[in-house]
Amino acid sequence: MGRQHVVDLGELGDALRTDPHPVYARLREQGPVHRVRLPGWEEDAWLVVGYEEARAALADPRLAKDTGKIGLTAMEEEMIGRHLLTTDPPQHTRLRGLVTRAFTMRRVEQLRPRIQQITDELLDEMLPAGRADLIAALAYPLPITVICELLGVPGMDREEFRKMSTEVVAPTNGQTGYEAIVQLGEYLTELIEDKRSSGPTDDLLSDLIRTTAEDGDRLSAHELRGMAFLLLIAGHETTVNLIGNGVHALLTHPGQLAALRADMTLLDGAVEEMLRYEGPVQSATYRFAAEPLEIAGAAIAKGTHVVISLTAAQRDGERYGDPDRFDIRRDTRGHLAFGHGIHYCLGAPLARLEGRTAIGTLLERAPALELDGTPGEWLPGLLMRGMRSLPVRW
């Protein structure tokens, strides 16, 4: 294709942050893959915006996660440890195997009554006031409580933890992101040491410390810290946005909200449509070409970063008819909100369970729920898609 036109995403200003869909629609019209300049990056990258190309790219082994293949070490990996999103097979296969031994479907299913209980307690506290910021009152505290209890993180200063973790996924600037990773790394090192010395308890982190494969393999201290980091961050930041974005979609589409209220058996499908229509993850975590390759005719050189936009792919009209319409009865099969291929989200069953419980219970207990003013600003960066606040009343 020769020297393709480079789209400078930084020049788009707030358009990509507040409402990226028209931007992605314009790019899709011109083609499924674009050479782009990312804000704060020196080198160009490639942005995949078409559904078929995104799905194929997510499962393409030539798009690697391990920066060691191009002679670099990811800052996160140096400071925190290796985890599922910084490794490729065979290391990834080994790590995922060890983690899935401890993080089973049975364990998720056992959390169901506790998730309902936490949801009810949060709503007991929230509902008498008549109005609230739904993010602060429900969407944030539910998943953070669940993931901290699941991992066995003591009731630490949740607000402090929230600041740290939000800085990691949507840094205000490079320095704050770096500091947050350092802080979290130190916290997790202490936590793992405490668990090692205090003897076995029934939580996921203790299980990960003890988990041993048939051949005697187990997670190293560095890997344990990396996995704890991934489970903590991915285990709550995404679900916050699933609940926030999902409720926002319902409240801005009264016909769909009424249809769901009239028939709550539509809830599971509604949550899947929320994931497609405004999923919590805007772009899959970075991949780069471990060897030269072509995507839809674009020649991608070895070492180049490839950003796969899940938000863009899920509004591709080639895959979903009338893609900008929020339709809770839509067939959403094949949506990419949890990724695709070997990096498919390990926590998808837990996220679905929390999303369905929170949204279903909220609708039952607040029959007159509506927006109460403008939502807060959307998170910065290309990784997450979510609002800082969502004022509602009932």
**Three-class SS of residue 67?**
helix
**Three-class SS of residue 298?**
strand
Question: Which token pair is 188?
Answer: 């997790």
pLDDT top residue among 360 and 213: 360
Instruction: List pLDDT tens digits, range 275-301.
Output: 999 999 999 998 999 999 999 999 999
Q: Which residues contact residue 10 at a Cβ distance below 8 angstroms, ignoring those fewer than 6 apart?
A: 37, 38, 39, 40
Taking residues 326-354, report their average pLDDT. Answer: 97
Residue 189, number of CB atoms within 10 A of its CB:
17
pLDDT in the model for residue 2: 39
| H/E stretch holding 150 | helix 141-151
pTM: 0.94
pLDDT in the model for residue 61: 96
For the chain, the 3-state helix, strand and coil shares in percent, each to the nearest 5, are 55, 10, 35
Question: Which DSSP category does 374 fall into?
Answer: -
- Amino acid type, 335: H
Instruction: List pLDDT tens digits, range 217-261.
Output: 889 888 999 999 999 888 888 999 999 999 999 999 999 999 999
Question: Which DSSP category does 315 fall into?
Answer: T
Contact 53, 296 (CB under 8 A): yes
Is pLDDT at 267 greater than 70 in this prediction? yes
Taking residues 176-192, report their average pLDDT. Answer: 88
pLDDT in the model for residue 178: 86
Taking residues 44-49, report their average pLDDT. Answer: 97
pLDDT in the model for residue 139: 98
Is pLDDT at 1 greater than 50 in this prediction? no
Instruction: List pLDDT tens digits, range 85-139.
Output: 999 999 999 999 999 988 999 999 999 999 999 999 999 999 999 999 999 999 9
Taking residues 366-382, report their average pLDDT. Answer: 95
Neighbour-count burial for 38-57, b at 16+ CB within 10 Å, e otherwise:
beeeeebbbbbbbbebbbbb
Q: Which CATH number fits domain 6-393: 1.10.150.120, 1.10.10.10, 3.40.50.11890, 1.10.630.10?
A: 1.10.630.10
pLDDT in the model for residue 4: 65
Mean pLDDT score across all residues of the chain: 92
Share of the chain above pLDDT 90, in %: 72
Question: Which token pair is 125?
Answer: 């506290």
pLDDT in the model for residue 77: 76
Taking residues 40-50, report their average pLDDT. Answer: 93
Is pLDDT at 179 greater than 70 in this prediction? yes
pLDDT in the model for residue 3: 46
Contact 119, 243 (CB under 8 A): no
Is pLDDT at 184 greater than 70 in this prediction? yes
Q: Which residues contact residue 342 at a Cβ distance below 8 angstroms, ignoring those fewer than 6 apart?
A: 59, 89, 92, 93, 96
pLDDT in the model for residue 176: 81
Instruction: List pLDDT tens digits, range 302-320.
Output: 999 999 999 999 999 999 9
Instruction: List the end-to-end C-alpha distance of the chain, in Å, as a whole number.
Output: 55
Instruction: List pLDDT tens digits, range 349-362.
Output: 999 999 999 999 99
Helices 141-151 and 112-126 cross at an angle (nearest 10°) of: 140
Taking residues 162-183, report their average pLDDT. Answer: 83
